[in-house]
């Protein structure tokens, strides 16, 4: 009977560790997604600025 309880205890510990790792992975995923969105926004802003400069150059023969 002690073997069964040891196995049960080991299973519960493994499940707890797995849950913890899943939570950490979700947090990492969330941070990564947020960083990707920030990077995309920065890139979009840079592209808009470059487009404005290109249009200005075309209009005024700089």
DSSP state of 56: H
DSSP letters for 4-43: HHHHHHHHHHHHHHHHHHHHHHHHHHHHHHHHHHHHHHHH
Q: Read off the pLDDT band of 28 (50, 70, 90).
A: confident
DSSP state of 61: T
| Average pLDDT over every residue of 17-25 | 90
Torsion of CA 29, 31, 33, 35, to 10 degrees: -150
pTM: predicted TM-score of the whole model, two decimal places: 0.53
């Amino acid at each position: 009977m002690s073997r069964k309880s040891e196995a049960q205890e080991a299973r519960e510990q493994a499940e707890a560790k797995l849950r913890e790792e899943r939570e950490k992975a979700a947090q990492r995923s969330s941070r990564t997604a947020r960083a990707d969105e920030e990077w995309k926004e920065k890139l979009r802003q840079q592209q808009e600025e470059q487009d404005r400069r290109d249009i200005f150059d075309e209009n005024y023969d700089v």
